[in-house]
Amino acid sequence: MIPDYAKDIYPNPVQYIYGKPVFVFRDHRWTIPVIYIAGEKKLLKIPAKIVIFDRHKDSLSPLNGTEALRKFRSENGSFNDLTDIVMKQLSPRDDDWIVSGMELGLISDVVQFSSEEEKVDSDEPVSVYTDSSGAEHRIYHLGRPLHELSYKGALADTSHETVSEGLWEVLGWNPSKPGFAENVNEFILDIDLDFFTFIWDKYTFAFTGEVYEGEFISPCQSPFYEEYLPLNFIRELIKKAALLTVACEPSFCGGPQKARNILIDVNDYLLEKKLNMDAIQVDYTPVYPDE
């Protein structure tokens, strides 16, 4: 699945969950070349919708390289052109890759679930970005699935602002089932492992078993259903996605060992232990095409 020209950037082998390819790599901005590869392999149409689980918002406007982004799009740039942009122009803090992907013509709309509730509550639930070609992109800023699937949440309340802004249509979400439309598979499910962490002062803590059970295995109630597990929602997302990307982000998870432990827990609690952890590196030094 990984082309020969990209194997030095993505050393982890592609694995499969419910028949869907899973790309595991280190830094979140390297999602962008995976989208390019997915388009080449006809896994989905470009530009792609993305459903993201991430503690941070990664939708800042890029400060550098905007001309390079536009040039890549207008000239149908190559994979090497793209890796050069990601390596040299995008923020090493991985906070501008979403908008950059929109400028590159690779990303359409984004639905982000965040685990930083205070920051989500202070944001507008929907923001619109107009790229340099004039195309509009919607970014839906949601909280944790447990919250959004419950009364007054974005996935459970017809009066929620995101619903009138098209969230359910973008996801193909039907709360009365509850579940997704049968023909929905044109999106990427993207997971940043730092979603499963929280910060206190200068310390980063991984979710405990108690948090996983409380957040994903506790049933939600809404006008549409009496009991629906966030875990079922996530597994349905996996089944409907064209592919999965997992950014290990050891720098934002408290280091490589913590990132690995988080991936093990995510694999155990959410992914039915379908990933072969022995084959995965969470921290490595990529080799880029011009090196």
Domain membership of residue 34 (yes or no) is: yes
Domain membership of residue 284 (yes or no) is: no
What pTM value is reported for the model? Answer: 0.94
Coil vs helix vs strand at 151: coil
pLDDT of residue 40: 93
pLDDT of residue 291: 41
Beta strands across the sheet bearing 15-17: 15-17, 20-25, 243-247, 187-192, 48-53, 107-113, 136-142, 126-130
Distance CA 36, CA 34 (A): 5
Looking up tokens 């009138």 gives 164
pLDDT of residue 134: 95
Looking up tokens 């689980």 gives 53
Dihedral angle, C-alpha 38, 27, 57, 264, nearest 10 ° = 90
pLDDT of residue 59: 86
Distance CA 227, CA 2 (A): 40
pLDDT in tens, 97-136: 999 999 999 999 999 999 886 555 556 899 999 999 999 9
Q: What burial letters (b/e) apply to 232-254, b meaning 16+ CB within 10 Å?
A: bbbbbbbbbbbbbbbbbbbbbbb
Domain membership of residue 288 (yes or no) is: no
What is the H or E stretch that residue 77 is in?
none
Under DSSP, the state recorded for 228 is B
Domain membership of residue 286 (yes or no) is: no
Domain membership of residue 17 (yes or no) is: yes
Domain membership of residue 287 (yes or no) is: no
**Based on the structure, what is the number of domains in the chain?**
1
CB atoms within 10 A of CB 117: 12
Domain membership of residue 285 (yes or no) is: no
Range of the domain at 241: 4-279
Cα separations in angstroms, 13 against 7, 96, 107, 253, 277: 9, 26, 24, 22, 11
**Maximum CA pair distance of the chain?**
56
CB atoms within 10 A of CB 261: 17
Q: What would the two tokens of residue 82 be? A: 């793209």
pLDDT of residue 122: 52
Domain membership of residue 144 (yes or no) is: yes
Radius of gyration of the chain (CA): 18
Give the residues of the chain that fall short of pLDDT 70.
117-123, 184-185, 288-291
